[in-house]
Amino acid sequence: MRLGYHSITWGGVVGEPTGVTSVKDLFYRANGDMQRALRDIAAEGYQGVELFDGNVADFADRPEVLRELLHETGLTLVSVYTGANFIYADSLPDELWRVNRAAELAALFGAEKLVVGGGARRAAGTDDEDYDRLGKSLDTVVDIAERQGLNASYHPHLSTIVESPDELERIMTRSRIGFCPDTAHLAAGGGDPAALIRQYPERIEHVHLKDYRPEPFAFLPLGQGALDFPDILAAVQEAGYDGWLLVELDSYDGDPREAARISKAYLDALLDSSVSR
């Protein structure tokens, strides 16, 4: 398995402000210097990178800049992350337009995977029809990705209608999209990440690794929280998954490169230990 890192740690995530009034423009964006991020990620020994759709879109009119940066660092653009509400009929066409744009850009820069999160929680509450709508939308995302030669996977996420294990089951039975377990979000949603990976082994298309501390709540570099990563990696291997492992840390109180270094050292030691057994 090859190791990659998400650029989110450099600046944290923001949404495109124009998306407040024009849904088609509501890209995610890591609010930092992507050239620094990629150089730091490569310097710490990672082989790949995941970028948000907005950060990739920043290079749409100057693709040679990103291509040269990937060449310089030796990094593979593994995946592009996007998301949407997916449950509102009126805004769905514009949301899917944006997902399609993300898929086109991912393919343009040689990515293998399209990762999506989403499924809005309504102020009035969530009902079963929202899961039906989300499932149908995610099947459309699969179609969009396949047209660009990409594999699509769904990332359960806090603040969406897919947080808990029961909510994950609702969407896994309603859509054929692949599963991208994010270890920290699954744990914070009340699940056991390793058990959920074992529950859906044939659906694993991508993996996000992140540590987690319940009290006080925090996402952390690998090995610094409460998660059982030896068991998580054992579950990933049992599933027959041999693709990219992407470390994704939303923010870090310090140099983001240091966080990447901490997670890489921990993951290298863990993988070496699993190989030697």
Report the Cα–Cα distance between both ends of the chain, in Å, rounded: 17
Looking at residue 257, its amino acid is R
Q: What is the pTM of this model?
A: 0.97
Cα 170 from Cα 180, distance rounded (Å): 15
pLDDT digits (tens, 9 = 90+) for 127-170: 999 999 999 999 999 999 999 999 999 999 999 999 999 999 99
pLDDT (tens digit per residue) in 232-251: 999 999 999 999 999 999 99
Give the SS3 label for residue 51.
Answer: strand
* 127 contact partners, CB below 8 Å, separation of at least 6: none
Task: Tell me the CATH class for 3-276.
Answer: alpha beta
DSSP 165: H
Domain ranges of the chain: 3-276
For residue 216, whether the previous peptide bond is cis, meaning omega lies within 30 degrees of 0, is yes
Whether 56 contacts 66, CB under 8 Å: yes
